[in-house]
Structure 1
């Protein structure tokens, strides 16, 4: 069985709606493998870079390299 959950991949997030991030961006796959194998949709979390001086909000997680 393939194991993609919790791995980072590049994904094309177009088309977008309103203020959603667009373009090719790194994402973490969060959906479970059983659903990844049988469903046409995969749940992902888009990642973004950190800029010094930017506030980290309670809903955000800072990942170290």
Structure 2
């Protein structure tokens, strides 16, 4: 896993983002642009995980 990224429960006090879509067999972060709710993505093991902020990380 990339530095600073670890999996936690969405209800954990240190959760900042929730995975709302996973796209296999790619590392192209632009694939998340098709999802209007996404706040970005992260590539892990040839998957792109599209993220949405939660708590203070949520989009206004």
**TM-score, normalising length from structure 2?**
0.28
Structure whose alpha-carbon radius of gyration is higher:
1
**TM-score, normalising length from structure 1?**
0.27
Q: Higher helix fraction: Structure 1 or Structure 2? A: 2
Q: Higher strand fraction: Structure 1 or Structure 2? A: 2
**Higher relative contact order structure (alpha carbons within 8 Å, sequence separation ≥ 6):** 2
